[in-house]
Amino acid sequence: MSILVGHDTRLAVAGLTGREGRYHALNNRRYGTQVVAGVTPGKGGQDVDGVPVFDTFRAAVAATGANTAMIFVPPPSAADSILEAEDAGIGTIVAITEGIPAHDELMVYAVLKRNPAVRLVGPNCPGVLSPGKANVGIIPASFFKPGNVGVVSRSGTLTYQIGNELAQSGFGNSTIVGIGGDPVPGSSFVDIIDLFEADPETDLIVMSGEIGGSAEEEAAGYIAAHVTKPVVGYVAGLTAPPGKTMGHAGAIVSGSTGGGQAKVDALEAVGVRVGRTPTQVAEIAVEILDR
Amino acid sequence: MWRPPVDLLEYKGKQVLARYDVPLHRGREAATVEQAVAAAEAVGYPVAVKAQVKIGGRGKAGGIKIAASPDELREHAASILGMDIRGHTVHELWIQEAAEIASEYYAAVVFDRAAKAPLAMLSTQGGIDIEQVAAEHPEALATIHIDPLVGFRAFHGRRLAYEAGVETDIVRPVAELLATLYEVFAREEATLVEINPLILTPDRRVVALDAKVALDDSALFRHPDNAALEDTSNADPQELMASERGLTYVKLDGDIGIFGNGAGLVMSTLDVVAQAGGAPANFLDAGGGAKAEAIVASVEVILSNPSVKAVLFNVFGGITRCDEVARGLIEAYEILQPSVPFVVRLDGTNDVEARKLLADADLPNVFPEATMDGAAARVVELVRAAEMERSA
C-alpha cells in the first residue's frame, strides 16, 4: 500500500514551468509518477513536455482529476500556492520550496488545521517516495528499492544515507517521507508514524530526528500509546553546542528543551532503539527485521 | 536553507516599536564617549548608559550604569564601550533618560514552535530571567496562544492582564500595549517581541524600558527598512565570510574542518567525528545542488579558520552531484593549495565518476574513504599524527 503517494497519485505541479520544477517533475514522471498537470497563472493552455499547464489548481483538478500537489514556486508565493491547492480540493500537498516566511507558514498551518481531509508535507522538504510506485519531490529514487521499512526524517540527505545503508543490507522501503526542517512543518513525526502504523506494507519504522523543538519527544509519547510496530530512532546533533543554530530552524539547542540527549532518552524510555550513527540505525533495523 | 532570525540591538528594536507608538523613554545611540556626552546633553541628566549587545544579562555584567553628570557619563561610557559581555564586544551605547520605576512587568509575543502559533505572555514579575519565573512560579506567567487567522483581540489583552494580576487601573494600558506588541510581531514578521522590563512609573504610566526584537530572516524581502537594522559588528569573521558566499556556516571550537550537504547529514557528521574522538572546527552546509564554485568558497571559508588541522568532506549526493563536488575540490586545491590533509567521502549521485576524477587528479594529501564512519576515524587519525609530528 505505502503511504501518501503511490500508484493512485495524480500529481499537479505548481511551478512546473520553472527550471527546477520542470526538472524534478519530469524526473518524477520518468520514475513512474502520474504527473497530470502543471499550474502556472498566465500559462494555461501551454504544456511542459506533454504535461498540460493550467492557470489555476481548480482548472487542473477539474480537467485531470489531480489529487496530489507538489509546490515548487519561489518562497514569496509558496503559501498562496499551498492554499490554492487546498481550496481546489487536493488532499495531499507536498511543499518543496525552502525559505518560506515563518508567518506565512503559521497562517497556512492555521488554515489547513481546519480541514482534516488535507495533508501537507513540508515545506522545505525533499518530498515523498514510495519505491517502485511514485516519487513526488527531489529524493534520488535510484538509491531506494521497494520494501517494508517506512522512513520519516527531518533531514533529506540523512534519509538518503540511512536508506542507502538499509538497501546495501538488502532491505527496501515502503515509503520515505521528508517532513522538512522548517519552523512550522505541515506534518510532524506523529502524523507520519500514525500513517505507517496503519500501512500493511510497513513492518518497521525508522524516524530520523535532530536537535531542537520537541517533535521527537511528542513522537515518543505517541509511540508508547499507539504504535505496535518496531521503531528505530536517530537524533542528529547530539554534540552540537547550545545556542548554535545548525541550518534547520529546528536545529538549535536552547535552554532546557531541544537537547539531543533528552530526545534519545525520551525515545529509549518507550522502547525505541536509537542508533548512535546512521550506520548503527541501519544495523539495528536489519537486526530487528532478520528476527 | 533556513536562516536564523535577525536579532536586533535594543535601540534598533525600539526604532521598530516607535513606529507603532509603543511608549518609550527618550534616548540616543552613541558609538564614542564624545557622542555619548552629546546624547546625554540632548536627553537630559540623569541618564542610563546601556551597552548595546545581542545578549541578556547586561546589567549583571556591568553593562548598564546611571550617570548624573557629564563626568560620570564619561567614566561609564569609557568603561562600557569595548567591554566584553559573554563574548560580545560593546560597540554602541544607548543613552536613555533614567527611568523611575514603581513596578517591573514582563510582556512578550513569541513564535511558539511546539504549538505552531504565536504565544502572548505577561507577568508582573518582570526585570528578571523569565525562564526562572516560568520554572519556579508558572502561575505568575499568564500565557495565551493567538490564532493568526483571528488575530489579537481586545479580550486577549484583558485576559492576560487580569490573569497576571495587574493592578486594576492599568489593565487597560497594559492590554492595549500587548495588542500593539502583537501588531508589531505580525506586521513586521518577527519571531520575538519581548519587553523585559515593561515598567510602571510612579505616575502610573506603562513604558517599555527594554526591547528585544527578532525578525524572520526569510521575510526580510518584504521589509526592506528592517533589513538595514541588522547588526553584524559582533559576527564571527568566518561566519560573515560564509554568509556573504551564501553558505550556512557555524564556527565551533575544534580543529577538524567539516564540509557536507544538508543540515541533518552535517550535524550527523559532527557527531560521528566527536564519537571518533575528534573535535569539529565548524558546521558547513553547502546546501542542495552545490556547484564547483560553492565548493571552492566553502574550502576557502573552512581554511580561513587557523585552528583547522584537517578537513573532512562528507557528501551524500541527491541533487548535489558528487562529480561536481570533486571538481570543486580539485579547483579549490589549485587556487588555495591547502597545507592540511583532506579526507573525502563521496556517495550518491555520480559517485563513481567523482572517485575517478579525484584518482586522476592525484591531489597530494587527499584521502578517499568509502564510509562515513571510516572517514571520521581517518580524519581524527590524521589530526593526531600531525600533532605527534609537531610535538616530536
CA distance B261 to B32: 43
Is residue A281 scored above 70 in pLDDT? yes
- Residues B39-48 have a mean pLDDT of 96
Asked if B268 and A277 come within 8 Å (Cβ–Cβ), the reply is: yes
Q: Which residues of A touch B253 (CB under 8 A)?
A: 241
Q: Where are the beta strands (DSSP E) in B32-175?
A: 47-51, 64-67, 84-85, 88-89, 93-97, 103-112, 117-123, 141-145
Please give the single-letter amino acid code of residue B147: D
Q: Which residues of A touch B191 (CB under 8 A)?
A: 102, 183
Percent of chain A with pLDDT over 90: 78
| ipTM summary value | 0.88
**In the structure, what pLDDT confidence band is assigned to residue A257 with cuts at 50, 70 and 90?**
low
Q: Where are the beta strands (DSSP E) in chain B?
A: 6-7, 27-30, 47-51, 64-67, 84-85, 88-89, 93-97, 103-112, 117-123, 141-145, 190-200, 206-208, 212-215, 248-251, 256-260, 282-285, 310-317, 342-348, 366-368
| pLDDT for the residue A258 | 67
CA distance A89 to A68: 9
Burial call B31-45: b when 16+ CB within 10 Å, e when fewer: eebebbbebbeebee
Q: Residues B5, B6, B10, B14: is their CA dihedral positive or negative?
A: negative
Is residue A1 scored above 80 in pLDDT? no
Q: What is the pLDDT of residues B298-343, one digit of tens each?
A: 999 999 999 999 999 999 988 788 999 999 999 999 999 999 999 9
CA distance A8 to A67: 9
The larger pLDDT score, comparing residue B196 to residue A212, is at B196
Q: What is the pLDDT of residues A104-120, one digit of tens each?
A: 999 999 999 999 999 99
Q: Where are the beta strands (DSSP E) in A138-221?
A: 146-153, 173-178, 204-210
The residue of chain B nearest to residue A279, with distances taken between CA atoms, is B373
**In the structure, what pLDDT confidence band is assigned to residue A254 with cuts at 50, 70 and 90?**
very low
**In the structure, what pLDDT confidence band is assigned to residue B2 with cuts at 50, 70 and 90?**
low
Is residue B44 scored above 90 in pLDDT? yes
| pLDDT for the residue A243 | 63
Q: Decide if B228 touches A, using CB distance below 8 A.
A: no
Residue pair B255/B307 in contact (Cβ under 8 Å)? The answer is yes
Place of cell 557555524: B250
Q: Which residues of B touch A276 (CB under 8 A)?
A: 271, 275
Residue pair B311/B291 in contact (Cβ under 8 Å)? The answer is no
**In the structure, what pLDDT confidence band is assigned to residue A246 with cuts at 50, 70 and 90?**
low
CA distance B156 to B162: 10
Is residue A251 scored above 60 in pLDDT? no
C-alpha cell read off for B111: 513564535
Cα–Cα nearest to B285, from B271, B267, B303: B267
| Active site annotation includes B106 | yes
State the CB neighbour count (10 A cutoff) for residue A242: 12
| pLDDT for the residue A249 | 45
Q: Decide if B272 touches A, using CB distance below 8 A.
A: yes
Is residue B114 scored above 60 in pLDDT? yes
How far apart, in Å, are the Cα atoms of B184 and each of A209, A281, B180, B206, B389? 33, 45, 6, 17, 58
**In the structure, what pLDDT confidence band is assigned to residue A245 with cuts at 50, 70 and 90?**
low
Rounded to the nearest integer, the mean pLDDT of chain B is 92
Main-chain dihedrals φ then ψ at residue B273, nearest 5 degrees: -65, -45
Q: How many residues does chain A have?
A: 291
In whole angstroms, what separates CA A221 from the centre of its chain? 21
Nearest by CB to A247, from B216, B263, B371: name it: B263
The larger pLDDT score, comparing residue B245 to residue B352, is at B352
C-alpha cell read off for A235: 537524533
Residue pair B265/B314 in contact (Cβ under 8 Å)? The answer is yes
Q: Decide if A46 touches B, using CB distance below 8 A.
A: no
CA distance A200 to A1: 7
| pLDDT for the residue B243 | 81
**In the structure, what pLDDT confidence band is assigned to residue B288 with cuts at 50, 70 and 90?**
confident
Q: Decide if B219 touches A, using CB distance below 8 A.
A: yes
Asked if B270 and A248 come within 8 Å (Cβ–Cβ), the reply is: no
Asked if B114 and A252 come within 8 Å (Cβ–Cβ), the reply is: no
Asked if A244 and B263 come within 8 Å (Cβ–Cβ), the reply is: no
CA distance B100 to B197: 12
Is residue A250 scored above 80 in pLDDT? no
CA distance A231 to A218: 14
State the CB neighbour count (10 A cutoff) for residue A234: 31
Q: How many residues does chain B have?
A: 392
Cα–Cα nearest to B319, from A154, A179, A140: A140
Coil, helix or strand at residue B130: helix
Residues 236-265 in B contacting A (C-alpha not used; CB under 8 Å): 248, 250, 252-253, 260-265
C-alpha cell read off for B361: 587528479
Is residue B346 scored above 80 in pLDDT? yes
Q: Decide if A100 touches B, using CB distance below 8 A.
A: yes
Cα–Cα nearest to A96, from A37, A26, A156, A7: A156
Q: Decide if A143 touches B, using CB distance below 8 A.
A: yes
